[in-house]
A and B are shown apart, each in its own frame.
Chain A
Amino acid sequence: MDSHDTSEWTPRQRASSRLNDHFIGATPLQKRLESVRKQTSFVPPSPQRKIPQCSQLQEDADPQKVAFLLHKQWTLYSLTPLYKFSYTSLKEYSKLLSAFIAAEKQKGLAVEVGEDLNFKVIFSTLLGMKGTQRDPDAFLVQILSKSQLPSENREGKVLWTGWFCCIFGDSLLETVSEDFTCLPLFLANGAETNTALIGTWFQQTFDCHFSPLAINAFNLSWMAAMWTACKVDHYVATTEFLWSVPCSPQSLDISYAIHPEDAKALWDSVHKATGEVTQEEVDLFMDCLCSHFYRHFKIHLSATRLVRVSTSVASAHTNGKIKILCHKYLIGVLAYLTELAIFQIE
């Protein structure tokens, strides 16, 4: 063969470098494995989480956009880091994605990129939507229908919305190189078929992977406790829990609603004033609720499954659907969701 300089390309070098890596433990991959090991160890370190603080949104946040994100039901996905994503190319992405969607919708018909279509895809950054300065900027993708009449309301109706964010994602940021953009949490609102199309495009373009993010009962109780702990000026909704009894042929749901102030009072009684929530406190809080229920209805809720929690701050369903109500605690809620998403992709 040609006189190619093969010295750079021997597999052995890699094998040896890998052995060194192992003992020095420096590469991103090694760091990842370390965290996976930590996660799966028998005794998980008892977690402590901060109670969401009042409005942690950065100053440059656009209030209109933030308002747009509230009071909508979002389906959650976890997302592995995006490879070679560039914030300077959002315009091009808009064009490419619209051509892709158009082509997918009319199977077999080729579409020129940049062609005028009856809908529009817009990429825009969500400024200020971050926990620390290290977090990459969140961004929003919208599909708008174009109205036929040119005069009125040119932007038309929003058909689908999705946004990508990373709030306090340090643990993930540490483990990837600069070619990647970490936005582990993806929230979508709109038809599932659209989510599928757009997800496919992202997967093909940035070599990332979407997985639906379900929230298990354990994490739902954490949400219940943390959100109850938040100080809300005026409660907009009752605090409600939904338990599901697994029985056939139809499952039975038990709804358990309490006044938010009562819930807060209960929380204050189990919470030691440190500003942090511990596992014991969460357990105690839920146990109290359950034993109260048992006293009245003689039903052990602990034998059933918690499937939904709604508070004035936000509501979450075990199937990964979430609605955020309170502007003040938006960042706090997203921080916990980011944590769950990172846990899932590790």
Chain B
Amino acid sequence: MSPQKRVKNSQTPKRTSRRSNSYQTNLLAWRQKEDLSNSKGISKNGQNSPVEDFEHADVDEQAEDTLQIAVRYFEKGPFKTSRSKDKTLEKHLKTVENVAWKNGLAPEEIDILLNVTLSGKFGSAVNSRILRCMIPATLISEDSVVKAVSWLCVGKCCGSTKVLFYRWLVAMFDFIDHKEKINLLYGFFFASLQDDALCPYVCHFLYLLTKKENVKPFRVRKLLDLQAKMGKQPYLHALLSLYKFFAPTLISISLPVKKKIYFKNSENLWKTALVAVRQRNQGPSPEPLKLMLGPDNVRPGKRKWNSHSLIPVLNSSSHSKEYETKGMSLSDYLSRNRAFPVDQLKTFPQLLQNIHCLELPSQMGAVLNSSLLLHYINCVRDESLLLRLYHWLSQTLQEECIWYKVNNYECEKEFTNFLDTVIKAECFLQEGFYSCEAFLYKSLPLWDGFCCQSQFLQLVSWFPFSSFSEVKPFIFDRLAQLFFTSTIYFKCSVLENLKELLQNWLLGLSMDIHMKTVTDSSLETTFSGSMQSVFELIHYVGWLSTNALRLESNSTFLLHFVLDFYEKVCDIYMNYNLPLVVLFPPGIFYLSLLSLDSSILNQLCYIMHRYRNNLTAAKKNELVLKTKSEFIFSSKTYQEYNHYLTAMVGCLWTSKPFQKGSYFDPEVFKKIGIAKYKTSLNLIHHPALLSYAVSFLLKECPEERTVNMSSIRGKKWNKYMDYLFSEGLQGLQLFIQSSIHHSSVP
């Protein structure tokens, strides 16, 4: 939406829209409606033609009509005949009040009525009643406000009306369509501070209105004089601290520790009406400004001198630049004037429009609490900005880390919250911070594996992509020590987070590979190095898992987490478009294949199915491109896959397990009493599926006393398979459909 258009719209009447739909909230729809009615030749509001009024003769309409009369009445001013005057006046006032509180008033009506009140045509009681019901339907035109202010200079209205007017201005501030002209009157408002009765309300209004360029040394001095005269007043505090915020080189103030309310609530009179107006123009109206000043919102009290909370408050860094005024070039001046202070940054479009002239916070750590600035951090390529963040975050992490301190566990909560904020920012950026990497290097050797466990492991999962072999001794070897000596739950958490880590690395790399269409020899080596790193990470997790399963006596629970990891691994080629296929180690494969748990077997089938898809896609691509990536698709990978596949088909389908390469001595089977082991492994006899076979048979012929497993064959075999698939074994279904041709039904 271009600004010009908006100006026009807000100044054109809104009556039409409200008549057709008083719940209208969307400005766009609103405009369409308006266009529509305009095209029908309906004249503009304020001078509604009688023809139109007759067309829709509903209640609203009539109220509207009487409103017009009432407004015109006020416009013309009081009549001299005293008896009837009171009655008519009362009637018209009631009309205006009713409409205003129900639907709000159009900008023109507000314009006229403001004029009436401030020109002092009526008594102060009437003025006050009119002001109290000056509720906009949607917006208030800036010009009306300017006109009203000009009446203030004439001095026709009394003090209480002025007060009420300023309270009204404060309450309606967000609904004034523009503020540029009002801001030009800054000097006038500022002078009104002299009036003791007005002072609190003018302060509040100035607090909303003040821009950086309004803050001038002479005004600072004036405010300080005022402070000397009136003492510590909360409303002066607020304005002074805003001045300090804009011009720290001119003024310094520190707010009292206790949270205070800075302004008496001027909005009280219009509370319900404001909600209604906001609802009416939900979309375009900005969030109401928060009137509480920054630092005092959060202050746990405990911190000595590293400010109020761990994360610094957003403050524009105006000073460091202003010292250099003498040596400043013209362009510097221009850019400084255009600089956009961070505290005013509220929406994403604002960020986009001002991204080239954003004034960064004085303490970089503040970005952690602002998602908009995190966006900025994400795309700016300013090394010193990142260094500032790096230093601050590293030091804070180190200082707050609870396992560095002796007997200082009471701050655990605070540290946990801090880590949560950091992790949230990392998730938002989809990127790990260097400071967290450094923190992991330093703190991992001292970590007990228990403190802030979930947060700490999440930090691991956001470990920035690096050369695996380089960081292994600092991170992964140390993690392995903890891993092997901790409980199964810890092991599962670690595997879960390593899966996240893998995913984060893969996402980063796949973005990268998309960026580079040009093949550059140096990039090529970089890329193969990256793939090598990923390969090593997967290999490392494979090693961890194999040993963990041995330690935890092949726990099914743990195995689930292991297979979850491989669910990510098997799809690297297709999901991330990266030329890498790594199979799982035999220790995991056979354990899953011979598991007693059907969901494990199902998951294995799914993974094998995905491996197959990835490998065939890779092969196809290879044939098309005639390029071969040395490090990924060695024929060994295919051989290995085929080997696993044969074993699986043997165990699930053909009942000929382990044909090639005798893994098991037949004597062993004789000893354990399964001489006919060869037929003991298929879809029916597999230990994970046996119970399915039994319930299938019982379901088929409920009368049978004995179940005859061998009866499942031929057509019944197919039926049995359908039964299995219907029981939620989708992985098995996918595997069988892709890897087994049905000609081989036994």
Spell out A's residues near B (CB within 8 Å).
1-2, 4, 9-20, 22-23, 27-29, 32-33, 36-37, 39-42, 80-81, 83-84, 86, 88-89, 92, 96, 99-100, 102-104, 107-113, 176-177, 179-180, 195-197, 199-200, 203-211, 344-346
Q: Tell whether, in the assembled complex, residue B387 and residue A110 are in contact, meaning their CB atoms are under 8 Å apart.
A: no
Does B155 sit within 8 A of A, measured CB to CB? no
Q: Tell whether, in the assembled complex, residue A109 and residue B253 are in contact, meaning their CB atoms are under 8 Å apart.
A: yes
Q: Which 10 A-B pairs have the closest CB atoms?
A: A196-B305, A99-B252, A80-B391, A110-B253, A103-B252, A89-B323, A84-B320, A209-B395, A110-B240, A9-B379
Q: Tell whether, in the assembled complex, residue B305 and residue A108 are in contact, meaning their CB atoms are under 8 Å apart.
A: no
Residues of B within 8 A of A195 (CB): 305
Q: Which residue of B lies closest to A9 (CB)?
A: B379
Residue from the list A36, A81, A107 in contact with B257, Cβ < 8 A = A107
Residues of A within 8 A of B386 (CB): 29
Q: Tell whether, in the assembled complex, residue B392 and residue A80 are in contact, meaning their CB atoms are under 8 Å apart.
A: yes
Residues of A within 8 A of B323 (CB): 86, 88-89, 92
Residues of A within 8 A of B320 (CB): 83-84, 86, 205-206
Q: Which residue of B lies closest to A106 (CB)?
A: B254
Q: Tell whether, in the assembled complex, residue B352 and residue A108 are in contact, meaning their CB atoms are under 8 Å apart.
A: no
Q: Tell whether, in the assembled complex, residue B252 and residue A96 are in contact, meaning their CB atoms are under 8 Å apart.
A: yes
Q: Tell whether, in the assembled complex, residue A22 and residue B465 are in contact, meaning their CB atoms are under 8 Å apart.
A: yes
Q: Which residue of A lies closest to B321 (CB)?
A: A84
Residue from the list A99, A179, A206, A208 in contact with B384, Cβ < 8 A = A179
What does DSSP make chain A's interface, helix, strand, loop or mixed? Answer: helix
Spell out B's residues near A (CB within 8 Å).
220-221, 223-224, 227, 232, 236-237, 240-241, 243-244, 248-257, 304-307, 312, 315, 317, 319-321, 323-324, 349, 352-353, 355, 362-364, 378-381, 383-384, 386-388, 390-392, 394-396, 398-399, 431, 434, 437-438, 441-442, 445, 464-467, 470-471, 473-474, 508-509, 511-512, 514-516, 523, 525-526, 529-530
Minimum distance in angstroms from A30 CB to a CB of chain B: 8
Q: Tell whether, in the assembled complex, residue B252 and residue A111 are in contact, meaning their CB atoms are under 8 Å apart.
A: yes
Q: Tell whether, in the assembled complex, residue B438 and residue A96 are in contact, meaning their CB atoms are under 8 Å apart.
A: no
Q: Tell whether, in the assembled complex, residue A211 and residue B442 are in contact, meaning their CB atoms are under 8 Å apart.
A: no
Known: A22-B467, A109-B227. A99 touches B434 (CB 8 A): no
Provide the bound-state CA to CA distance between A206 and B466, in Å: 31
Known: A103-B254, A108-B253, A110-B223. A83 touches B431 (CB 8 A): no
Residues of B within 8 A of A22 (CB): 465-467
Q: Tell whether, in the assembled complex, residue B442 and residue A80 are in contact, meaning their CB atoms are under 8 Å apart.
A: no
Residue from the list B237, B324, B516 in contact with A108, Cβ < 8 A = B237
Provide the bound-state CA to CA distance between A162 and B55, in Å: 83
Q: Tell whether, in the assembled complex, residue B474 and residue A19 are in contact, meaning their CB atoms are under 8 Å apart.
A: no
Provide the bound-state CA to CA distance between A109 and B256, in Å: 9
Residues of A within 8 A of B315 (CB): 204
Q: Tell whether, in the assembled complex, residue A40 and residue B232 are in contact, meaning their CB atoms are under 8 Å apart.
A: no
Residues of A within 8 A of B378 (CB): 11, 14
Residues of B within 8 A of A99 (CB): 251-252
Minimum distance in angstroms from A216 CB to a CB of chain B: 12
Q: Tell whether, in the assembled complex, residue A211 and residue B398 are in contact, meaning their CB atoms are under 8 Å apart.
A: yes
Known: A20-B526, A200-B307, A206-B320. A40 touches B511 (CB 8 A): no
Minimum distance in angstroms from B682 CB to a CB of chain A: 49
Provide the bound-state CA to CA distance between A103 and B250, in Å: 12
In addition to A110-B243, A113-B250, A346-B394, 17 A-B residue pairs with Cβ atoms within 8 Å of each other are A2-B353, A11-B379, A16-B512, A19-B530, A41-B474, A42-B473, A80-B391, A96-B252, A108-B256, A111-B253, A112-B224, A179-B384, A196-B305, A204-B307, A205-B320, A208-B391, A344-B398
Q: Tell whether, in the assembled complex, residue A29 and residue B383 are in contact, meaning their CB atoms are under 8 Å apart.
A: yes
What does DSSP make chain B's interface, helix, strand, loop or mixed? Answer: helix
Residues of A within 8 A of B243 (CB): 110
Minimum distance in angstroms from A262 CB to a CB of chain B: 35
Known: A14-B378, A29-B390, A40-B441. A96 touches B319 (CB 8 A): yes
Provide the bound-state CA to CA distance between A201 and B91, in Å: 62
Mind listing 28 A-B residue pairs with CB under 8 Å?
Answer: A1-B349, A2-B352, A11-B378, A12-B514, A14-B379, A15-B515, A16-B511, A16-B516, A29-B387, A32-B390, A39-B441, A80-B395, A83-B320, A83-B384, A92-B249, A96-B249, A108-B232, A110-B240, A110-B252, A110-B253, A113-B250, A180-B384, A200-B307, A203-B306, A205-B320, A207-B392, A210-B306, A211-B398
Minimum distance in angstroms from A268 CB to a CB of chain B: 37
Minimum distance in angstroms from B690 CB to a CB of chain A: 50
Known: A4-B352, A23-B529, A112-B220. A207 touches B240 (CB 8 A): no
Q: Which residue of A lies closest to B378 (CB)?
A: A11
Q: Tell whether, in the assembled complex, residue A110 and residue B352 are in contact, meaning their CB atoms are under 8 Å apart.
A: no
Q: Tell whether, in the assembled complex, residue A100 and residue B392 are in contact, meaning their CB atoms are under 8 Å apart.
A: no
Q: Tell whether, in the assembled complex, residue A205 and residue B252 are in contact, meaning their CB atoms are under 8 Å apart.
A: no
Q: Tell whether, in the assembled complex, residue A112 and residue B396 are in contact, meaning their CB atoms are under 8 Å apart.
A: no
Q: Tell whether, in the assembled complex, residue A16 and residue B319 are in contact, meaning their CB atoms are under 8 Å apart.
A: no
Minimum distance in angstroms from A335 CB to a CB of chain B: 22
Q: Tell whether, in the assembled complex, residue B394 and residue A28 are in contact, meaning their CB atoms are under 8 Å apart.
A: no
Q: Which residue of B lies closest to A19 (CB)?
A: B512
Provide the bound-state CA to CA distance between A41 and B224, in Å: 58
Q: Which residue of B lies closest to A102 (CB)?
A: B252
Q: Which residue of A lies closest to B315 (CB)?
A: A204
Known: A36-B442, A40-B445, A41-B474. A203 touches B363 (CB 8 A): yes
Provide the bound-state CA to CA distance between A274 and B464, in Å: 44
Q: Tell whether, in the assembled complex, residue A19 and residue B396 are in contact, meaning their CB atoms are under 8 Å apart.
A: no
Q: Tell whether, in the assembled complex, residue B383 and residue A28 are in contact, meaning their CB atoms are under 8 Å apart.
A: yes
Provide the bound-state CA to CA distance between A197 and B352, in Å: 37
Known: A89-B324, A111-B253, A197-B305. A209 touches B512 (CB 8 A): no
Residues of B within 8 A of A18 (CB): 464
Known: A16-B512, A177-B384, A207-B362. A40 touches B395 (CB 8 A): no
Residues of B within 8 A of A89 (CB): 323-324
Minimum distance in angstroms from B392 CB to a CB of chain A: 5
Provide the bound-state CA to CA distance between A120 and B240, in Å: 23
Q: Tell whether, in the assembled complex, residue A16 and residue B515 are in contact, meaning their CB atoms are under 8 Å apart.
A: yes
Q: Tell whether, in the assembled complex, residue A29 and residue B324 are in contact, meaning their CB atoms are under 8 Å apart.
A: no
Q: Which residue of A lies closest to B530 (CB)?
A: A19
Provide the bound-state CA to CA distance between A112 and B241, in Å: 12
Q: Tell whether, in the assembled complex, residue B391 and residue A37 are in contact, meaning their CB atoms are under 8 Å apart.
A: no
Residues of B within 8 A of A96 (CB): 248-249, 252, 319
Q: Which residue of A lies closest to B375 (CB)?
A: A11
Provide the bound-state CA to CA distance between A192 and B465, in Å: 43
Residues of A within 8 A of B395 (CB): 80, 209, 211, 345
Q: Tell whether, in the assembled complex, residue B307 and residue A113 are in contact, meaning their CB atoms are under 8 Å apart.
A: no
Residues of A within 8 A of B383 (CB): 27-29, 177
Provide the bound-state CA to CA distance between A202 and B364, in Å: 14
Known: A22-B465, A84-B320, A112-B224. A203 touches B379 (CB 8 A): no
Provide the bound-state CA to CA distance between A205 and B361, in Å: 10
Residue from the list B319, B387, B474, B523 in contact with A177, Cβ < 8 A = B387
Provide the bound-state CA to CA distance between A311 and B296, in Å: 47
Provide the bound-state CA to CA distance between A173 and B323, in Å: 24
Minimum distance in angstroms from A214 CB to a CB of chain B: 11
Provide the bound-state CA to CA distance between A196 and B303, in Å: 11
Known: A40-B474, A206-B320. A113 touches B252 (CB 8 A): yes
